[in-house]
Structure 1
Amino acid sequence: MTPDEFHQSEYVSYDAYLKYKKDYPTLEWFVDARQLRPMDPQEVDWVAKEILPMFGKAGLTREAFVIPQHVMAQLAIHQYETKTAGGQVAVRMFGSVEEAKQWLKEAHLKER
């Protein structure tokens, strides 16, 4: 995937979030990154500085990642998690799909 294609895919994801957030106000973001390949650090920075803040302004509060299998991709996700620490959107990594989804659900169970 070229950088332009990657950027476009992120904007498509953002548009989908906006569309579904209207019907599902507690919608959070789940990323199954197990098959993720290594990412250019500039792309990680771009997502952390440009895309995630857009999601935050739209109402996202949590983004959960299932840890990638590829070690270099794990480093990219760790870099992303570090760059976004303390921001409007909490970003966490998990070893399984179940753990990630449970963490996303917990945010709104506590609000009830």
Structure 2
Amino acid sequence: MAKIATVITNMFEDAEFTSPKGALEAAGHELITIDTTAGIEVEGKHGEKVKIDKDIDEVSASEFDALFIPGGFSPDILRVDDRIVAFVKEFMDEMKPTFAICHGPQLLITAKT
């Protein structure tokens, strides 16, 4: 099954991460959470906590089959980090499946420009 990169940080919209995560994992896919620091916990707008699996500096798009960007304020926070933007752009350049919810496309727009 697919290995899916998920860029996420504090203030994500809880249900926009947890619901797709549950469905994707139930279908046999593996989600890897990525932020600026591995091993930390980030917190959603409504208190959901998520452990970060990988540091942005230790990943590349070539390791993954797809990219998932949940909404909330997380994409706004992430789009000011050039490393995150470059990572997202790799997926776009390689034409890998990329899906974003609600405010997630803001990060795609930043990567495209």
Bigger fraction of residues in helix:
1
Same fold, judged at TM 0.5 (above): no
| TM tier relative to shorter chain | 0.3 to 0.5
Structure with greater strand percent: 2
Q: TM-score, normalised by structure 1?
A: 0.36
TM-score, normalised to structure 2, is 0.36
Structure of higher CA gyration radius: 1
